[in-house]
Chains A and B, each alone.
Chain A
């Protein structure tokens, strides 16, 4: 493909991503404004605010301005990376930044572990399609795929935190223990174990099912027959001819899943009190914290849009047919 064509392909993809982002921004703004005026809720909860104090509050939250004016203000501020202040008057950007690493640690490691395990199981299943091994794993993965994460998470808490008392029931570290160095690392790993296990098990089915069906399909291709007819050993047929081609759809799913890593796992982070973006979202919804929610949705959208872009570009790198199309 010509150099100019590659550049055009890149520019088009990036422009598409920017347009999507703009749409998301607009949608976010109107979505949250449609939920009503949060000052009423504050008044009820505080139970001791004078009307004058409430009017002040409304003004400070910018809720006294007409909607179009609020929208322009929102766009302008977002462009300048000013995401505003949370209900407790802390910058949205730093609040989100603090929750990013715990999410990447938990969701990132478990996503990668589930990809590795899932793909591995999927290859083994697809290669021995229809065998007892395949049927057994198919049943297991389908059950895992259908299993509600919160239920499995609670079950694990009951088993490992209450009955066996091996792992803590939640959090990323022991509050107030003040560990440092190795003790701190061990403390975090101890807290990571249960949610990591639950997420890995919950996610791996998705990858193994895709890998299995993809490999099954590839195995019917003519070039596989040709390879076998040429007397290539089965191990090499699998490794060189079947798996690489079958991996392509899995890669797409994988990259897209990585986009969702930042979105966190709201349910699991909440069940395990994990201090990541998922938990932050849950709390922001509870407090009807518009500014924080808008910030979070922006981050999630950017992550997914970026992952889509990467998937698009990577796919054309891995599979030249896409570029040519």
Chain B
């Protein structure tokens, strides 16, 4: 065989391999839910560029996962869409009784509840789930259940939660139990095998049996999650019947393609992170908004990892943070020299709002704003300079102030994260502002893991990062307690500021164990004041969620009602209520031209291969 013939044969073999691969791909992608397609389910498709971290409620941790779980499962009491207060009208629990000692809580459930496979959903399932989460210290729920001793079912519609100490957390006066309830008849087999439980992919209706309005029926990794109506949904009977048959979460590789899909109508709703894309969509007639979400961004400060000691023991000073930052005056001066509103306008293009407290507005304990009794820490460079002058930080000849205690210049390392563009974009602003008050920063960029390690080691001065707190502030307040400081460079704790204040700790414990919810709110606000005064975090802004939908859909129920997320709320109500403006809005597009183009391209390809083979053969004949 001549070389040309050999090459031609190789090509043909290659084509065959690819053809077989294609057959494999086609076979693999055929859908089990095809029957539904033929009857034309009314589908609502929302999209983002973030794939679920996992559909398993023991494993996943992203907001994306929570949105899907909120459709598939119930939490005992839902957050009201208006203001995050308990919403018994739209929950499986209808009331809660609290014992006089504040340690026993009796939950009354609706009767006749069923799982998506038709099995009865009873108080046993709730008690089993809570005990299971507690037993294995499941990360997503460990904080909420920290005070719980055990849960037990009294009958099919009543379960009792026993607390280790008096508290208002479980009283139902506010929503604290953010626990997705699992069916015992599906998950019970993992009672003694947590590892196996975590490997449940939860990507088909047999595994993902739930009680919510939509059940996961298919997940194609990095492509889409499909959820179909739960035929046994309890909400149907109480005015919560979904308008659509199917919800699809489509996962794009990039936001430009997602925006294109929204414009062409192949998706109905999209989440974005780039303001310019949202602005473009807006200019092209797509409905957009920047929704308020609890996520915030702060400049964290090493308030003394290397210097503070714990009188009670358990903390070893470590790291090399600047001593000057242990002085609250320096931190307050930095606060006064940073103008969050400018950063919101320039860096976030207006899609954020300036922040004062790590407890977000709209948290279950209500809004808090700095009052007359709080120090004035508003943006004022002159006032910041004055504060530092008064505290003895004299300006050096090079324009950098000197710490009178150590004789060292006020020069701080400032870490941004490689994956977080705003944390990098704010650097020139912060650098310039702090220069004006005689503080020099040394900006560096690290990846998140590295920065985590640096914080654990205490080898930092300032960094930019953020949190996404729960509606209840307990967890986010906890990260500022002394016990949350990493006790040494090898053990993780949640504090990244090394803030330690016995007065604050005392209040933290008090809010945990106060039975009166109104009193708890007072204490929480007092704690917010302390954090504002002491500035372990220089709060920058509350993020907004950038979202857009086509004009074809209506019925969104934002949470909170004022400027909240249109769709991904803490419960399923918006998905239940969403519906097309007209029936035509949901009609799929054609594309017969595309089919012809592809067919022609394939034919052209086949002709080229055939020609090559023919030529090869002919040259063999010529030779013969």
Question: Chain A interface (Cβ within 8 Å of chain B)?
Answer: 35-58, 60, 85, 87-90, 95, 98-99, 101-102, 104-105, 108-109, 112-113, 115-117, 120, 154, 157-158, 161-162, 165-181, 184-186, 188-190, 192-193, 196-197, 236, 239-240, 243-245, 247-248, 251, 258, 269-275, 279-280, 282-283, 286-288, 318
From the candidates A170, A248, A318, name the one contacting B252 in the complex (CB within 8 A): A170
In the assembled complex, the CB of B343 is this many whole angstroms from the nearest CB of chain A, namely 20
Whether B594 contacts A166 by the Cβ 8 Å rule is yes
Q: Which of B212-267 contact A (CB under 8 A)?
A: 220-224, 226, 246, 248, 250-254, 256-258, 260-261, 263-264, 266
Whether B33 contacts A178 by the Cβ 8 Å rule is yes
B484 surroundings in chain A (CB, below 8 A): 51
Whether B4 contacts A275 by the Cβ 8 Å rule is no
Whether B449 contacts A176 by the Cβ 8 Å rule is no
Query: Residue on B with the closest CB to A115?
Result: B11
Whether B199 contacts A275 by the Cβ 8 Å rule is no
Whether A287 contacts B223 by the Cβ 8 Å rule is no
CA distance A44 to B476 in the complex (A): 11
B382 interface residue per 8 A CB criterion: no
From the candidates B18, B56, B222, name the one contacting A275 in the complex (CB within 8 A): B222
A105 surroundings in chain B (CB, below 8 A): 18, 21-22, 25
Whether A88 contacts B222 by the Cβ 8 Å rule is no
CA distance A271 to B222 in the complex (A): 13
CA distance A150 to B493 in the complex (A): 41
Whether A170 contacts B14 by the Cβ 8 Å rule is no
Whether A162 contacts B492 by the Cβ 8 Å rule is no
CA distance A224 to B143 in the complex (A): 81
Among the interface residues A108, A154, A197, A282, which one has the most CB atoms of the partner chain B within 10 A? A108
B615 surroundings in chain A (CB, below 8 A): 239
Given contacts A49-B143, A166-B597, A176-B226, contact A40 B4 (CB under 8 A): no
B469 interface residue per 8 A CB criterion: yes
Among the interface residues A46, A169, A175, A269, which one has the most CB atoms of the partner chain B within 10 A? A175
Q: Interface with A: B154-162, B450-458, B535-543, B545-553, which one?
A: B450-458
Q: How many A-B residue pairs have CB under 8 A?
A: 297
Whether A101 contacts B28 by the Cβ 8 Å rule is yes
Whether B45 contacts A104 by the Cβ 8 Å rule is no
From the candidates B142, B223, B588, B594, name the one contacting A50 in the complex (CB within 8 A): B142
CA distance A46 to B24 in the complex (A): 38
Query: Residue on A with the closest CB to B137?
Result: A53
Among the interface residues A49, A54, A88, A280, which one has the most CB atoms of the partner chain B within 10 A? A88
CA distance A108 to B54 in the complex (A): 30
Whether B30 contacts A43 by the Cβ 8 Å rule is no
4 additional A-B residue pairs with CB within 8 Å, beyond A89-B56, A176-B246, A245-B3: A44-B465, A109-B22, A178-B36, A248-B3
Given contacts A38-B449, A175-B45, contact A51 B54 (CB under 8 A): no
CA distance A76 to B261 in the complex (A): 45
CA distance A186 to B593 in the complex (A): 12
Whether B449 contacts A35 by the Cβ 8 Å rule is yes
Whether A43 contacts B492 by the Cβ 8 Å rule is yes
Given contacts A37-B453, A270-B254, contact A49 B221 (CB under 8 A): no
Given contacts A116-B612, A176-B43, A178-B31, contact A167 B199 (CB under 8 A): no
CA distance A196 to B605 in the complex (A): 12
Whether A176 contacts B248 by the Cβ 8 Å rule is yes
Query: Residue on B with the closest CB to A285?
Result: B419
Whether B494 contacts A180 by the Cβ 8 Å rule is no
CA distance A73 to B491 in the complex (A): 23
Whether A171 contacts B139 by the Cβ 8 Å rule is no
Query: Residue on B with the closest CB to A104?
Result: B21
Contact indicator per residue, chain B 603-615, by CB within 8 Å of chain A (1) or not (0): 0010011001001
Among the interface residues A51, A117, A318, which one has the most CB atoms of the partner chain B within 10 A? A51
Given contacts A55-B492, A178-B37, A193-B594, contact A35 B254 (CB under 8 A): no
CA distance A188 to B28 in the complex (A): 12
In the assembled complex, the CB of A80 is this many whole angstroms from the nearest CB of chain B, namely 18
CA distance A60 to B45 in the complex (A): 35
Q: 24 pairs across A/B with beta carbons < 8 Å?
A: A35-B450, A40-B448, A42-B139, A48-B144, A50-B137, A50-B142, A53-B139, A60-B195, A88-B60, A101-B25, A104-B18, A105-B22, A108-B14, A109-B22, A154-B257, A157-B257, A166-B593, A177-B588, A188-B26, A189-B599, A240-B2, A271-B257, A273-B253, A288-B448
Given contacts A89-B199, A193-B597, contact A101 B221 (CB under 8 A): no
From the candidates A36, A52, A158, A169, name the one contacting B452 in the complex (CB within 8 A): A36
B561 interface residue per 8 A CB criterion: no
User: Chain B contact residues (Cβ within 8 angstroms of A): what range?
Assistant: 35 or more
CA distance A109 to B51 in the complex (A): 27
In the assembled complex, the CB of B583 is this many whole angstroms from the nearest CB of chain A, namely 18
Query: Residue on B with the closest CB to A108?
Result: B18
CA distance A271 to B260 in the complex (A): 11
List the 7 shortest-distance A-B pairs measured between CB atoms, nearest first: A40-B452, A36-B449, A175-B224, A178-B37, A88-B54, A176-B248, A244-B3
Given contacts A36-B447, A90-B201, A108-B17, contact A42 B61 (CB under 8 A): yes
Query: Residue on B with the closest CB to A286?
Result: B419
Query: Residue on B with the closest CB to A102?
Result: B25
Query: Residue on B with the closest CB to A36?
Result: B449
Whether B222 contacts A180 by the Cβ 8 Å rule is no
Whether A52 contacts B137 by the Cβ 8 Å rule is yes
Query: Residue on A with the closest CB to B492?
Result: A54
In the assembled complex, the CB of B513 is this many whole angstroms from the nearest CB of chain A, namely 18
A40 surroundings in chain B (CB, below 8 A): 448-449, 451-453, 455-456, 492
In the assembled complex, the CB of B202 is this many whole angstroms from the nearest CB of chain A, namely 10
Whether A47 contacts B137 by the Cβ 8 Å rule is no
Whether B601 contacts A193 by the Cβ 8 Å rule is yes
B289 surroundings in chain A (CB, below 8 A): none
Among the interface residues A39, A116, A282, which one has the most CB atoms of the partner chain B within 10 A? A116
B198 interface residue per 8 A CB criterion: yes
B34 interface residue per 8 A CB criterion: yes
Whether A47 contacts B469 by the Cβ 8 Å rule is yes
A190 surroundings in chain B (CB, below 8 A): 591, 594-595, 598
B619 interface residue per 8 A CB criterion: yes
From the candidates A47, A90, A99, A116, name the one contacting B605 in the complex (CB within 8 A): A116
Query: Residue on B with the closest CB to A268?
Result: B253
A162 surroundings in chain B (CB, below 8 A): 260, 263-264
Whether A271 contacts B253 by the Cβ 8 Å rule is yes
Whether A171 contacts B143 by the Cβ 8 Å rule is no
Whether A37 contacts B4 by the Cβ 8 Å rule is no
CA distance A56 to B484 in the complex (A): 17
In the assembled complex, the CB of B176 is this many whole angstroms from the nearest CB of chain A, namely 12
In the assembled complex, the CB of B382 is this many whole angstroms from the nearest CB of chain A, namely 36
Whether A169 contacts B257 by the Cβ 8 Å rule is yes
Whether A112 contacts B452 by the Cβ 8 Å rule is no
B589 interface residue per 8 A CB criterion: yes
Query: Residue on A with the closest CB to B35?
Result: A178
Whether A171 contacts B223 by the Cβ 8 Å rule is yes
